[in-house]
Chain A
Amino acid sequence: MSIVAGNTAYLDRKEEAPRGIRGLLFHPAAFGVLLAVALTISLGHWFVGQAKTEITTDQWNRGVIVELMALADAAGAIETADKKSASEKLTTMLKGLPGTDDGAATYRVLRLSGARLLASTQPNDVDDMAPPRRLSRDEKWLFDLGQSLRASVQTQRDEGIYRRRQIEVEELDGGLVRVSLPYFVGEKVTGIVQSERRRTAVAATGNRLLAAGLVIGAYLLAIGALAAVGRERRDKDVTRHKPWALFAVGLVLLTLSAAVYSRSEMGDLTAAYTSLTGQLAGEFSSVKDRLGYLAGQAGVSLDPTMENRWDVDLFRRPFGVIDGDGNVKGAALADKVSEMTDRLGSALRWNWGVGLIILVFFALGYARRLRRTVQEHRSAYFYVMPAMLGMMVLAFFPFGYGILLSFSGQTVLNVSEPLADLMVGFQNYVSILGDFSLFESTAEGAVINYQNFYWTLFITVCWTMTNVAFGVTVGVLLALTLNTKGLKYTNIYRVLLILPWAIPNYITALIWKGMFHQQFGVINQGIQMFGGEPIAWFDGVFSAFMTGLITNGWLSFPFMMVITLGALQSIPADLYEAATIDGATRWQQFRHVTLPSLKPTLIPAIIISVVWTFNMFNVIYLVSGGSPAGANEILITKSYKIAFEEYRYGYAAAYSVVIFFILMFYGVFQTRMTKATEAANA
């Protein structure tokens, strides 16, 4: 403890604190409040801006989708009625759509069978490129898009879950937006309808004035509070004596400003959403009239009594906010609004958390300590910088990404979707750690469920303990033997005994796997030579466990032997002499001289060896492969199987994080224990 205090003594030394106005303005607590509130509000401001932009663009997209869904219904009806005249009728129909005359919107209708462009209002599709025609080679993307939408519809029907979008909204260069969706003849996806048009860039932001006012107000109030406290105790640095009081003031300011901001913006957002929905309802009615008329001209009718099947999300699920007559449904709208505000609210609460961390950092004096440490040891930090950067990129980033992944439901089926959409919270951890179904009852009675985490953990712990015990025992025994005085050819023995360690362990593992083969393996051949029954090594839980243990024992004893041998040779001979003079027996010498002298070397070696063995992937994976039925899987091989055989990346990441925490817990525990024993020895 004294060492730690000695290192940080400089942090507490007297420093000429700036006084007066400047001292107040740059006081860490006030600065902390400023930074925390500014960050919380500006992040919130950004989120609100995003949300506002999103609802505006979403409603715009929904307007296009409503129109295209209506067009798709018409196209389906026209194709059903008569395939031959479909192209002609659709071309006429497209001409009557809004935006075609002035080129504000262009449309395409593609039939997948034969890759035929049935109708188009694209400026290029005239003369010899005029539809109907087969798509040209440059237009392969259009066909592929249609195929992928068709596959999405089919996937949804097969699986009954919504994981692939059935409506594609692409943002092209220059603010152009392309919306494509499938049309059906009966149940079958026959083609796609598509529209391209320019969306005016929406740059909605939150209330700037309110945000700025809140930040400045909170800062001023913080300074005021400081001044008030400071007046009472002018002679002393306030933060050093009353950090908690200032922190409490800061916390109140932060919470208040966040609450005021979020309340006001939520109100704004709700109003905006409601008015946009009203607008959309108007668009829906006009689409219904216009398309209904055009469809009538083409000799088909769009179901007039329909529920609103056109206002849908990207999975073609109806929103249900606008009814078939173009009226807004109040209750449904309220649900949608609260869904949106809940989402924003949770984002804002996270912001508040971030602000809180900053506040703690500054107001409670951590920032000051950090600044002083960096100043004091500037050159030291400079020297470790390259290594720190390297660690960031190579260790901390993948590690952080792994942790992030562990909260997601990423699998091979949704790997192309953004991670933010796949977040499942603690669900992976709950299903790993909260599954206690260790026994299954089957027709043959209760059997152990080998897939359960706790069984695998049990096997891993058994595996680690037996292996380390085996390695240490054999290693120490061999080292003691080699250390015998007057033993000849020691060097040769040493080389021979180190060899298992020197050969790459996967080669050794594969050789042992071959030796355990039931018919041709040398071990069973040996057993048979002495009249025994051959053992089916990989069929029983215990025998398969033994294959791993034997292989890994063979691989791990040389390490322990080398370590022990080194330690043995550094024990001074006078200790043994003194012991002999005192009349100690050989056993007493070993017990009271050799073992205590080995301890400082052996304990770190054992710690390392435990971690290695715990994650000894090669031996388990290559020798028994976890057989029978995954019973001998250890945590790390299990996690590999989940990731690369079951393709559940998020779940496997959670598994790895659990392994990390187990090892970290062990590491901390072990370090404490070692320290305790060292202290007792000292």
Chain B
Amino acid sequence: MNIRRNFFAALAGLWLVFSWTSATAADLVVWHAYRGAERTAFEKVVGIFNAANPDINVKSLPVPYDAYADKITAAVPRGRGPDVFIFAQDRLGGWVEGGQTVEPIDFFLEDETIEALLPGMMEAMTYRETVYGLPIAYKSPAMIYNKAIIKNPPQTTDELVQVAKEHTAAAGGRYGLVYQYSDFYYHSALLNAFGGRVFDPEGPTPTVDDPKNIQSIDLMMKWFKEDGIVPPDPSSTLVTALFNEGKSPIVFNGPWFISEIEGIDVGVTAMPTVNEAGGAPMKPWLTVEGIYVSAQSGHKEEAYAFATFIATDDESAFIRAVEGRQLPSHAGVYDRPEVSGDPVLAGFREQFNNSIPMPNYAEMTLMWSPVTTAMNKITKGSASSEAGLKAAQAELSASVAALRTGR
């Protein structure tokens, strides 16, 4: 009995492998890393597409997030990957430089497609002036506040400091503002407000020790040391704890934070403008989720048609927003009352106007380790903002040079 069962299992496995490698006319496989509601909504959207396009059959395959990027890097160039995959823009540069992974889509791209999307999104999908993917959703931190405590969210940093000071009592563990300021990702909002940059826009030359970057860190340190409105050692758990216990009324955090909130009536709005930076708004880095056509796909046109559908179809964007709690890149969806009336979605959409896509250079992954070290040194007081960033700049320049010359 057992042998027979194993035999059938093996047969079924073989059939699966076989049917996967020898997909007929237009069987597309799409990889994504969605879970929970996002996954359900996405699968529903795929179902709608399949129903509307009887000659194309899209199968969606969820892949665990931890192994996802490496799986794409390893499988796609060898023709073992999906036809379409979804990923944030941060790995795009590496995949393009490595080659054979992502299909350039400029040629297919039509103006109507770009017009259907929120402005500025395509920048994230563009590498060396070639477009490789369509944006489908975005994430960025915004200002999240406790409505019971904050009636009018602060518009400027001066107001922010003032409001925060009112709600700060360090002895009782109360802080007016809490966010992971020592994490460079969260710091990007202040950095961009001052016009700082980590890479030269003309090409991936590191500019970590730019004077504007230093200014932005000095302001952060002023909040921490002089004003005392933020707690020391801000970890993600501390942020959650302080906000949920009502000890901190304002946080800067992303949509992922919403599911961690318990029993607080929250409002979401754009981060304040920075008086010290001449009134420029805080602009967090935007993570754009793109849908890419695999360079190895046998059905690139169908794959592109599917990608366009996901990115630009009204109804499916609506489903992803309302049911999947995603922030679609689709512009029209934010006009619908269910979305514009949703405080969370509308709040993050407002922040979108003040945001900058995170650079997608291959060299970006090299940046994190040096800047994290610098931020730790600076917040621990073991280095000045200038010395810390100078050291990070030196380390990053060295590793970028080593990456390019290969030694």
Q: Which residues of A contact B (CB under 8 A)?
A: 115, 135, 137, 140, 143-144, 147-148, 150-151, 154-155, 157-159, 161, 163, 408-416, 422, 424, 427-428, 431, 442-444, 451, 517-520, 536, 539, 628-630, 641, 644-648, 650-651
Whether the pair A629, B373 counts as a contact (CB closer than 8 A) is yes
Query: Given contacts A144-B104, A519-B237, is CB(A648)–CB(B99) below 8 Å?
Result: no
Q: How far is the CB of B396 from chain A (nearest CB, A)?
A: 10
Apart from A135-B107, A518-B235, A641-B369: 8 A-B pairs, beta carbons within 8 A: A143-B106, A413-B98, A416-B98, A427-B407, A444-B382, A517-B235, A539-B376, A647-B365
Tell me whether B113 is interfacial, beta carbon within 8 Å: no
Q: How far is the CB of A447 from chain B (nearest CB, A)?
A: 10
Query: Given contacts A144-B107, A412-B98, A519-B235, is CB(A151)–CB(B406) below 8 Å?
Result: no
In the complex, per-residue mask of B181-210: 1 if CB is within 8 Å of any chain A CB, else 0: 000000000000000000000111100000
Whether the pair B98, A154 counts as a contact (CB closer than 8 A) is no
Q: How far is the CB of A185 from chain B (nearest CB, A)?
A: 15
Whether the pair A411, B406 counts as a contact (CB closer than 8 A) is yes
Query: Cα distance A613–B179 when bound, in Å?
Result: 38
In the complex, per-residue mask of B346-382: 1 if CB is within 8 Å of any chain A CB, else 0: 0000000000000000100110110001001100101
Q: How far is the CB of B90 from chain A (nearest CB, A)?
A: 13
Q: How far is the CB of B83 from chain A (nearest CB, A)?
A: 16
Task: Provide the residues of chain A in CB contact with B331, threshold 8 Å.
Answer: none
Whether the pair B107, A424 counts as a contact (CB closer than 8 A) is no
Report 30 cross-chain contacts, Cβ distance below 8 Å, ordered by A residue.
A115-B107, A137-B301, A140-B300, A143-B107, A147-B130, A148-B104, A150-B129, A151-B129, A154-B129, A155-B128, A158-B203, A163-B404, A408-B406, A412-B97, A412-B362, A412-B403, A414-B406, A416-B98, A416-B100, A444-B383, A517-B235, A517-B237, A518-B233, A629-B376, A645-B366, A646-B366, A646-B399, A646-B403, A647-B362, A651-B406
Tell me whether B6 is interfacial, beta carbon within 8 Å: no
Tell me whether B152 is interfacial, beta carbon within 8 Å: no
Tell me whether B26 is interfacial, beta carbon within 8 Å: no
Mark out the residues of chain B between 92 and 113 whose CB falls within 8 Å of any chain A CB in the assembled complex.
94, 97-100, 104, 106-108
Task: Provide the residues of chain B in CB contact with A629, threshold 8 Å.
Answer: 373, 376-377
Whether the pair A159, B99 counts as a contact (CB closer than 8 A) is no
Query: Given contacts A147-B130, A158-B202, A519-B233, is CB(A412)–CB(B94) below 8 Å?
Result: yes
Whether the pair B128, A154 counts as a contact (CB closer than 8 A) is yes
In the complex, which residue of chain A has the Cβ closest to the Cβ of B233? Answer: A518
Query: Cα distance A431–B382 when bound, in Å?
Result: 30
Query: Cα distance A157–B202 when bound, in Å?
Result: 10
Q: How far is the CB of B393 from chain A (nearest CB, A)?
A: 13
Task: Provide the residues of chain B in CB contact with A140, threshold 8 Å.
Answer: 107-108, 300
In the complex, which residue of chain B has the Cβ closest to the Cβ of A153? Answer: B128
Task: Provide the residues of chain B in CB contact with A628, threshold 8 Å.
Answer: 373, 376
Query: Given contacts A147-B104, A413-B362, is CB(A645)–CB(B369) below 8 Å?
Result: yes
Tell me whether B161 is interfacial, beta carbon within 8 Å: no
Whether the pair A151, B387 counts as a contact (CB closer than 8 A) is no
Whether the pair B403, A650 counts as a contact (CB closer than 8 A) is no
Q: How far is the CB of A537 from chain B (nearest CB, A)?
A: 12
Pick the residue among B205, B369, B377 that contacts A630 (CB under 8 A). Answer: B369
In the complex, per-residue mask of B262-296: 1 if CB is within 8 Å of any chain A CB, else 0: 00000000000000000000000000000000000
In the complex, which residue of chain A has the Cβ closest to the Cβ of B295? Answer: A144
Q: How far is the CB of B84 from chain A (nearest CB, A)?
A: 17
Tell me whether B405 is interfacial, beta carbon within 8 Å: yes
Tell me whether B150 is interfacial, beta carbon within 8 Å: no
Query: Given contacts A158-B202, A411-B404, is CB(A147)–CB(B366) below 8 Å?
Result: no
Whether the pair B406, A422 counts as a contact (CB closer than 8 A) is yes
Task: Provide the residues of chain A in CB contact with B366, threshold 8 Å.
Answer: 645-647
Task: Provide the residues of chain A in CB contact with B383, threshold 8 Å.
Answer: 444
Q: How far is the CB of B365 from chain A (nearest CB, A)?
A: 6
Residue from A137, A629, A644 whose CB has the most chain B CB atoms within 10 Å = A629
Whether the pair A151, B403 counts as a contact (CB closer than 8 A) is no
Interface size classification for chain B: 35 or more
Query: Given contacts A115-B107, A151-B130, is CB(A442)–CB(B391) below 8 Å?
Result: yes
Whether the pair B203, A647 counts as a contact (CB closer than 8 A) is no
Query: Cα distance A486–B369 when bound, in Å?
Result: 56
Query: Cα distance A288–B309 when bound, in Å?
Result: 52
Whether the pair A161, B403 counts as a contact (CB closer than 8 A) is no
Q: How far is the CB of B391 from chain A (nearest CB, A)?
A: 7
Query: Given contacts A135-B107, A158-B203, A416-B99, is CB(A409)–CB(B129) below 8 Å?
Result: no
In the complex, which residue of chain B has the Cβ closest to the Cβ of A115? Answer: B107
Tell me whether B25 is interfacial, beta carbon within 8 Å: no
In the complex, which residue of chain B has the Cβ closest to the Cβ of A416? Answer: B99
Task: Provide the residues of chain B in CB contact with A150, threshold 8 Å.
Answer: 129-130
Task: Provide the residues of chain B in CB contact with A151, threshold 8 Å.
Answer: 127-130
Query: Cα distance A416–B102 when bound, in Å?
Result: 14
In the complex, which residue of chain A has the Cβ closest to the Cβ of B384? Answer: A443
Query: Cα distance A150–B365 when bound, in Å?
Result: 25
Query: Given contacts A147-B104, A412-B98, is CB(A651)–CB(B407) below 8 Å?
Result: yes
Query: Cα distance A264–B23 when bound, in Å?
Result: 57
Query: Cα distance A135–B110 when bound, in Å?
Result: 14
Task: Provide the residues of chain B in CB contact with A415, threshold 8 Å.
Answer: 98-99
Query: Cα distance A143–B103 when bound, in Å?
Result: 12
Query: Cα distance A135–B369 when bound, in Å?
Result: 45
Task: Provide the residues of chain A in CB contact with B402, threshold 8 Å.
Answer: 646, 648, 651
Query: Cα distance A650–B108 when bound, in Å?
Result: 37
Tell me whether B339 is interfacial, beta carbon within 8 Å: no
In the complex, which residue of chain B has the Cβ closest to the Cβ of A428? Answer: B407
Tell me whether B238 is interfacial, beta carbon within 8 Å: yes
Mark out the residues of chain B between 213 and 237 whose CB falls within 8 Å of any chain A CB in the assembled complex.
233, 235, 237
Residue from B104, B108, B300 whose CB has the most chain A CB atoms within 10 Å = B104
Query: Cα distance A448–B345 when bound, in Å?
Result: 48
Query: Cα distance A520–B300 when bound, in Å?
Result: 50
Query: Given contacts A137-B301, A151-B128, A628-B376, is CB(A409)–CB(B99) below 8 Å?
Result: no
Pick the residue among B100, B395, B407 that contacts A409 (CB under 8 A). Answer: B407
Whether the pair A424, B403 counts as a contact (CB closer than 8 A) is no
Q: How far is the CB of A455 from chain B (nearest CB, A)?
A: 15
Task: Provide the residues of chain B in CB contact with A630, threshold 8 Å.
Answer: 369, 373
In the complex, which residue of chain B has the Cβ closest to the Cβ of A157? Answer: B203
Whether the pair A647, B94 counts as a contact (CB closer than 8 A) is yes
Task: Provide the residues of chain A in CB contact with B204, threshold 8 Å.
Answer: 158-159
Task: Provide the residues of chain B in CB contact with A641, threshold 8 Å.
Answer: 369
Query: Cα distance A651–B403 when bound, in Å?
Result: 10
Query: Cα distance A161–B405 when bound, in Å?
Result: 8
Whether the pair A409, B107 counts as a contact (CB closer than 8 A) is no
Query: Given contacts A140-B107, A539-B380, A628-B376, is CB(A161)–CB(B404) below 8 Å?
Result: yes
Task: Provide the residues of chain A in CB contact with B399, threshold 8 Å.
Answer: 646
Query: Cα distance A227–B104 when bound, in Å?
Result: 71
In the complex, per-residue mask of B77-96: 1 if CB is within 8 Å of any chain A CB, else 0: 00000000000000000100
Mark out the residues of chain B between 241 and 267 whose CB falls within 8 Å of any chain A CB in the assembled complex.
none
Shortest 7 CB-CB contacts between residues of A and residues of B = A409-B406, A158-B203, A416-B99, A151-B128, A629-B373, A143-B107, A140-B107
Query: Cα distance A143–B395 when bound, in Å?
Result: 38
Task: Provide the residues of chain A in CB contact with B403, threshold 8 Å.
Answer: 411-413, 646-648
Q: How far is the CB of B298 from chain A (nearest CB, A)?
A: 14
Task: Provide the residues of chain A in CB contact with B395, threshold 8 Å.
Answer: 451
